Amino acid sequence: MGKEMKRIRKIALILVLTLIFILTSSIHSNVKAQVVEPTPEQKVEYRAVECEENNGNKQLIIEIWIKKLNFKVIDLKLKYDPNLLLPSDLTTNQIVDINEQDDMPTYFEFSNEFGNYLELFGMSSIDGEFRTVLSMLGEADRTGTNAYLVEDDDIGDYVGVQDQVLLGKISFQVLGEEEITDKAFQLKEGNSPKTGIKVNINGVDSYEAPSLFQFVLDLASDNAYLTNIEMDKATIENYDKTIFNYIVTLEEDTDILEVTPTKEDEKAVITIEGNEVESGNPYPIELNPIGEETEIEILVTAEDGVTQNIYKILVQRTRWNY
């Protein structure tokens, strides 16, 4: 009975806040508020950054980024496919019922980049919908200073994001083996809000306007490591994937050295001398004459196409003593 009452109170709080926002919008539109359409740069970005196994099930982590927005109250919504995803504890990935949790739910982590100027007003998750309402704290509750707090004589204090800032993280347990795509998420229809954010402040006039909503899949791996580098006529002592420079001495009288790199992530790409090399397969390197060192560079590019590591091996050839 107690849990049901808590759930009812939370839902009631969301409904009351929604009504306040709608009434405020109506009052402003009749008095002086100017409805301003957001620029293409103004948006709330839900960025899927990780989908890895945790506690026997896949866990999807979504970061919420605020870009070039000014606000006093922020009202966020994200609809998701409940047949594919369910809210889960950020640490354990266990499925949770957000409406039965007190205070901050365990499947949401508020990254307080705003220096204690934002407070969680309410949160709910009903029929595949994530929603949270955050508001600025009152003057007496603020502590310290913060770069995001903007003070203006005309409109008072508000949170201003000139570039971008991470607001928080959401965790979902992935049900089944279906690949995650942006089709698993959609905008919330209706007026409160219809594209992910509601109450903004801009200049002298306060206004309510839908900002741009963006969902970004950023699940490509940034793993550009080699688990091992083997050679047919030499050995790298104490190999470590996080160390990128090695020196080996080749005592055999040979002009060709076969190098076999093995990548840690199967989706990474290995390149030697501009040629793509299959992981675990030997690649022949023509060595410089005796007395000259040969530098071998192994380039590893992660799946994201951005992250790269270069492993350098300096091969020193010694003369045979007869």
As averages over each run of 10 residues, the pLDDT of the chain (322 residues) reads: 58 56 44 55 81 90 85 75 87 85 75 71 67 70 72 75 88 82 59 40 45 62 92 91 93 86 93 95 92 93 89 85 52
pTM listed for this prediction: 0.60
pLDDT at 315: 93
For the chain, which residues make up each domain, given as ranges? Answer: 2-217, 226-317
In angstroms, the first-to-last Cα distance of the chain is 92
Work out the number of other CB atoms within 10 angstroms of the CB of residue 262: 15
- pLDDT score for 205: 44
What pLDDT, on a 0 to 100 scale, did the predictor assign at position 18? 54
- Mark 31-46 as b/e (b = at least 16 C-beta within 10 Å): eebeeeebeeebbbbb
pLDDT at 102: 63
Q: Taking the mean position of all CA atoms in its chain, how far away is CA 2?
A: 36
Neighbours of 200 (CB within 10 A): 21
Q: What confidence score (pLDDT) does residue 9 get? A: 61
Write the pLDDT tens digit of every residue in 171-205.
999 887 777 766 666 654 444 333 333 444 444 44
pLDDT value at residue 245? 96
Same fold, 2-217 and 226-317: yes
**Site of tokens 């900002």:** 211
CATH 1.25.40.390 fits 2-217, yes or no: no
| CATH-assigned architecture of domain 226-317 | Sandwich (2.60)
For CA atoms 118, 120, 121, 123, give the dihedral sign. Answer: positive
Q: Note the pLDDT of residue 30.
A: 42
Instruction: Give pLDDT, residue 33.
Output: 43
Contact residues for 44 (Cβ-Cβ < 8 A; gap 6+):
64, 65, 66, 67, 69, 76, 196, 197, 211, 212, 213, 214
Strand ranges of the sheet holding 294-301, from the earlier edge strand across to the other edge? 245-250, 308-317, 294-301, 269-272, 275-277
Measured CA to CA, the distance from residue 244 to residue 64 in angstroms comes to 34
On whether the CB atoms of residues 24 and 30 are closer than 8 A, the answer is no
pLDDT given for residue 309 in this prediction: 96
Write down the pLDDT at residue 31.
Answer: 38
pLDDT of 211: 47
